């Protein structure tokens, strides 16, 4: 991680928007990026215009950040993330969230599309992430540690803030949703899992499978900011689903769940941004 590039990225967002400090950030997962466009008074900055930003290559990710005021605070909404399966290095994958923390964000919400393992979940459900299993074989903190960013051996006892989860559970209930919570197992991809891999993940305690989020959550915790994670179950995981998996199914379910997702985020963002930590 090049510290100076990170500072340049953060400075470029803050100077371009004339906003000194961003209080929170949201990373919008597959099929959920359009949420950012709903902010009428937001300013969109393309990733290509920010120093050091990796440019997404997968369909459905547009690659920009919307900087928007919310009450008397400010939020960054990232649509389009990069994944390890595209060939990006871990440093590049976590560059966006590290930039958000460098802009001042104390709380970051990570969203994704995931396969459901837990039989209580149906496609279209939103599930809070309670913890994760890093089955990618990678970690963004491998290599020399930059002490300006965080400690060599960060604690991972509570990656996903219990406080924020409790508040998100309230939001789910207010929105008429079951406050599902589950363990997210991250695989490297880009293949979907085999049924045997899904059974393995289930045996290890996973409720959800996906190909993102975990590196970002690790990097955010490394920098001492808080994380809250939400998966949209776009399909039943391989072997649980009676039909083969496809990316079309993922994007179609995400599109169908858009109103629910929008409703939850609209209600939750004021909570996310109202950080008592300063």
Number of residues that bind ligand HPA (CB under 6 A): 13
Q: Could you confirm whether 30 is annotated as catalytic?
A: yes
Q: How many residues does the chain have?
A: 278
On whether the CB atoms of residues 82 and 62 are closer than 8 A, the answer is no
CA-to-CA distance for 45 and 147, rounded, in angstroms? 29
Rank residues 114 and 223 by Cβ distance to ligand HPA and give the closer one: 114
Examine residue 103 and tell whether it contacts ligand HPA (CB under 6 A): no
Span 10-29, contacts to ligand HPA by CB under 6 A = none
Question: Can you tell me which of 33, 105, 234, 269 binds ligand HPA, judged by CB under 6 A?
Answer: 234
Among the listed ranges 10-18, 67-75, 108-116, 143-151, the one in contact with ligand HPA (CB under 6 A) is: 108-116
CB 240, min distance to ligand HPA, A: 9
Rank residues 27 and 114 by Cβ distance to ligand HPA and give the closer one: 114
On whether the CB atoms of residues 189 and 108 are closer than 8 A, the answer is no
* Secondary structure E strands in 12-141: 24-28, 43-46, 64-70, 73-79, 107-116, 126-134
On whether the CB atoms of residues 91 and 216 are closer than 8 A, the answer is no
Examine residue 118 and tell whether it contacts ligand HPA (CB under 6 A): no
Q: Could you confirm whether 211 is annotated as catalytic?
A: yes
Examine residue 192 and tell whether it contacts ligand HPA (CB under 6 A): yes
Q: Looking at 12, 34, 44, 86, which residue is catalytic?
A: 86
Rank residues 74 and 136 by Cβ distance to ligand HPA and give the closer one: 136
CB 176, min distance to ligand HPA, A: 24
Q: Could you confirm whether 86 is annotated as catalytic?
A: yes
Task: List, in sequence order, every residue forming a beta bridge with 183; answer none if it has no partner.
Answer: 131
Q: Look at the alpha carbons of 134, 234, 89, 128 in this order and tell me if their dihedral is positive or negative.
A: negative
CA-to-CA distance for 34 and 60, rounded, in angstroms? 10
Question: Can you tell me which of 209, 214, 218, 265 binds ligand HPA, judged by CB under 6 A?
Answer: 209
Examine residue 129 and tell whether it contacts ligand HPA (CB under 6 A): no
Q: Could you confirm whether 61 is annotated as catalytic?
A: yes
Question: Can you tell me which of 23, 92, 193, 197 binds ligand HPA, judged by CB under 6 A?
Answer: 193
CA-to-CA distance for 30 and 177, rounded, in angstroms? 21
Examine residue 235 and tell whether it contacts ligand HPA (CB under 6 A): yes
Examine residue 237 and tell whether it contacts ligand HPA (CB under 6 A): yes
On whether the CB atoms of residues 43 and 66 are closer than 8 A, the answer is yes
CB 235, min distance to ligand HPA, A: 5
Examine residue 114 and tell whether it contacts ligand HPA (CB under 6 A): yes
On whether the CB atoms of residues 217 and 159 are closer than 8 A, the answer is yes
Q: Which two tokens stand for residue 105?
A: 């964000």
CA-to-CA distance for 177 and 195, rounded, in angstroms? 29
CA-to-CA distance for 259 and 264, rounded, in angstroms? 9
Instruction: Please give the positions annotated as active site.
Output: 30, 61, 83, 85-86, 113, 211-212, 235, 247
Residues engaged in binding ligand HPA (CB under 6 A): 113-115, 192-193, 209-211, 234-235, 237, 245, 250
């Amino acid at each position: 991680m090049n510290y100076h590039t990170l500072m340049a990225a953060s400075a470029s967002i803050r100077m371009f928007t004339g906003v000194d400090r961003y209080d929170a950030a949201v990373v919008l997962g597959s099929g959920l990026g359009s949420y950012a466009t709903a902010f009428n008074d937001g300013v969109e900055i393309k990733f290509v215009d920010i120093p050091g930003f990796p440019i997404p290559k997968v369909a459905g990710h547009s690659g920009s950040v919307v900087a928007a005021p919310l009450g008397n605070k400010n939020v960054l909404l990232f649509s389009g993330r990069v994944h390890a399966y595209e060939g990006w290095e871990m440093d590049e994958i976590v560059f966006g969230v590290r930039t958000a923390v460098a802009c001042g964000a104390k709380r970051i919400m990570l969203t994704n599309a995931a396969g459901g393992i837990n039989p209580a979940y149906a496609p279209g459900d939103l599930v809070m992430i309670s913890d994760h299993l890093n089955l990618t074989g990678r970690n963004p903190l491998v290599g020399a540690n930059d002490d300006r960013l965080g400690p060599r051996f960060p604690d991972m006892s509570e990656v996903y803030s219990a406080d924020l989860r409790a508040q998100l559970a309230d939001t789910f209930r207010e929105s008429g949703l079951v406050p599902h919570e589950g363990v997210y197992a991250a695989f490297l991809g880009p293949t979907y899992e085999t049924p045997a891999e899904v059974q393995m993940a289930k045996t290890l305690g996973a409720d959800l499978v996906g190909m993102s989020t975990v590196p970002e959550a690790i990097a955010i915790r490394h920098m001492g900011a808080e994380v809250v994670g939400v998966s949209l179950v776009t399909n039943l995981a391989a072997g649980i689903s009676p039909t083969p998996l496809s990316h079309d199914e993922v994007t179609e379910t995400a599109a169908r769940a858009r109103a629910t997702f929008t409703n939850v985020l609209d209600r939750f963002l004021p909570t996310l941004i109202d950080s008592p930590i300063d």
